[in-house]
A and B are shown apart, each in its own frame.
Chain A
Amino acid sequence: MNLLVFAEVRDGKLKKSSLETLSEAVRLAKPLGSKVGVALVGEGIKAHAETLGKHGAAQVYVVDSPRLKFYASEAYAKAVVAAHQKLGSGAILMAATSMGRDLAGAVAALLGSGAATDCTGVKIEGGKVVAKRPVYSGKAYATVAFKKAPAVLSLRPNVFAAQETGGSAAVEDLAVAFDDADFRSAVKEVAATAQGKVELTEASVIVAGGRGLQAPENFKVRDELASVLGAAVGASRAVVDNGWRPHSEQVGQTGKTVSPNLYIALGVSGAIQHLAGMRTSKVIVAINKDPDAPIFKAATYGVVGDALEIVPVLIQNLKKALAQ
């Protein structure tokens, strides 16, 4: 069963999560002896084919057009389906980024199929694609089996390892006939709201703050710790609802779901809705005054105490440890 991966390019950069997805496809294809192809879609993106080859893609289909400079749901889906038809793939995989989540549904609709989104595990058993994915905001996991091919899947960022295998891909330009209807949902403009900042859902380290930080101005403590660690910043629902922090930082049920290597929760009590959004983090550190706070049940390491006192000392110690 050949596998097709959609490679996402934003601001001229190939997404790390696309390489994670590609690497997982390569691992799935190996025992089957099947081929992994990539749909590389956008404007002026062809040079990325080399990186994709290094990560194990046998074939890269390039759909390059000025009209594809920004994301256009229908047109991108059409390009992916064109590559799929060329490759004859049994599964189409992409990273579950904001683009990938949108595209998965659009591609699946074109093919008359459902999509398994945000998968944390994929298997191919007896020619059938089976995926494991969090449901009920991470409170449970569903294993779903596709009844027909192709399967359409999006893979959660930060779960699968990107791996260079040192190959090179055959590159083929694909001509796709677009019409105006393919651009009726097209993006006109992209504005950066957090330039230079690490994006929460893609971060390998996250420092989150909750009500235990006591006041909006105290979040600079969180930000300072995050900058020492090169981390993204998160917040609990309580502080977002209080207007201390924007919703884009919210982690949890009505915010973002994250699974970094290290999640540091400062003054976050750990309501079930918050835990739902971060419980798959590999290592969780909780600093909280209340020894009975539910966050300590989820934490790998807990420190009982006032985050505002502890974090400055933590920053000093981390700087030393990181310098060694």
Chain B
Amino acid sequence: MNLAVCLKRVPDTTTKLKIGPDGKSIDPQGVEWAISPYDELAIELALRLKEKAGGEVVGVSVDPDGNDVAMRKALAIGLDKGVLIKGGGNFDGWATAQVLASVLKPRKFDVIFFGKQAIDSDAFQVPTMVAHLLGLPRVNVCTSFEVDGAKAKCKRQIEGGEESIEVALPCVISVQKGVNGIHDKRFPSMKGIMAAKSKPVESVAAPAVESTMEVVKLEMPPERPPGKIVGKGVDAVPELVRLLKEEAKVL
């Protein structure tokens, strides 16, 4: 099977963010970059499918500033090759989707995998938009994905339940943590890291696209007012309940 994983380079989850001097973006200095965690799960799902059905897994990523660390990590984990799309630091979801679609369309993939969201923009929209642009069915927030002939049987997480969806291949899938029992990423082996160095990464220029939204301000969340320690042990309980009822008025 011809499989693609769209992956995004994001600040590592433990990075302490600082707002940059423009007040609209984060200060990249000192940021450790990682593959967005849900994309890592998508990589694992794609690799398992390849191991079963054969074929090839291609990573596709937008690279605004010549930093290919996420793609190299993905190749070390096991992707066969990569496509880096140069350009576009300020893309919104629609612009990103158009740029990705321009690379995905001519390459004819059977399944295009995404994480359900990238953990920087948290926007939940690019997979759906890519599917729209390619005219393909899509299932978002997938918790279960099985290829069955020319179809894929999927389950998708919703509030208090699960939806079952059957789509024809080719299709676009965005994955939730726990998809097919996958809770963790695969770590690269030493052999994988060595092999990654010689895997092909194709560079393509992003087509001209325009964002329909612009970030006008980025700020840290308001500090929570300092809380109080009500007390220690069970003796503190009556006072806690009183505060919840009379001060916070949440009971």
A140 and B159 contacting across the interface, CB-CB below 8 Å? no
Whether a CB of chain B sits under 8 angstroms from the CB of A199 is yes
Contacting residues, chain B, for A36 (C-beta < 8 A): none
Q: Are A321 and B241 in contact (CB under 8 A)?
A: yes
Q: Which residues of B contact A195 (CB under 8 A)?
A: 160
Known contacts A134-B221, A303-B240; is-contact A117 B162 (Cβ 8 Å): no
A240 to B183, CA, bound (A): 9
Question: Which residues of chain B come closer than 8 Å to A104, judged between CB atoms?
Answer: 124-125
Q: Are A105 and B250 in contact (CB under 8 A)?
A: no
* CB-based contact A140/B220 at 8 Å: yes
Contact A283 B248 (CB under 8 A): yes
**CB of B165 within 8 Å of the partner chain:** yes
Q: Which residue of B lies closest to A247 (CB)?
A: B178
Q: Quick one: closest B residue to A295, CB to CB?
A: B227
Chain A residues engaging chain B, CB cutoff 8 angstroms: 10, 70-71, 73, 97-99, 101-102, 104-106, 108-110, 112-118, 130, 133-148, 181, 184-195, 197, 199, 201-202, 205, 240-241, 246-248, 250, 253-255, 261-262, 272-273, 279-280, 282-286, 291, 296-306, 309-310, 313-314, 317-318, 321-322
Is the beta-carbon distance between A112 and B94 smaller than 8 angstroms?
A: yes
Q: A142 touching B215 by the CB < 8 A rule?
A: yes
Distance to closest chain B CB from A192 (angstroms): 4
Q: How far is the CB of A194 from the nearest CB of chain B, in Å?
A: 5
Give bound CA distance, A187 to B218, whole Å. Answer: 37
| B211 is an interface residue with CB less than 8 A from chain A | yes
Provide the bound-state CA to CA distance between A97 and B140, in Å.
13
Given contacts A262-B250, A305-B232, A314-B237, contact A108 B93 (CB under 8 A): yes
Question: How far does the alpha carbon of A185 sit from the alpha carbon of B26 in the complex, in Å?
Answer: 36
- Whether B163 lies near A117 (C-beta < 8 A) is no
Question: Once the chains bind, are B160 and A199 in contact (CB under 8 Å)?
Answer: yes
Among A105, A141, A185, A191, point to the contact of B167 (Cβ < 8 A).
Answer: A185
User: Which residues of B from 212 to 251 have beta carbons under 8 Å from A?
Assistant: 212-221, 224-225, 227-234, 236-238, 240-241, 243-245, 248, 250-251
Q: Count B interface residues, CB 8 Å.
A: 82
* In contact, B221 and A184 (Cβ under 8 angstroms): no
B residues adjacent to A (C-beta < 8 A): 11, 13-14, 17, 19, 26, 37-38, 92-95, 97, 119-129, 131-133, 135, 137-141, 156-168, 176-178, 183, 211-221, 224-225, 227-234, 236-238, 240-241, 243-245, 248, 250-251
Neighbouring B residues of A110 by C-beta, 8 Å: 132
Q: Is the CB of A279 within 8 A of B141?
A: no
Cα distance A303–B241 in the bound complex, in angstroms: 11
Contact B244 A262 (CB under 8 A): yes
- Quote the shortest CB–CB distance from B194 to chain A (angstroms): 29
Residues of B within 8 A of A134 (CB): 122, 221
Please provide the 5 A-B residue pairs with the shortest distance between their CB atoms, ordered closest to farther: A105-B125, A105-B128, A109-B132, A114-B92, A143-B217
Contact A248 B234 (CB under 8 A): no
Report yes or no: A136 in contact with B120, Cβ–Cβ below 8 A: yes
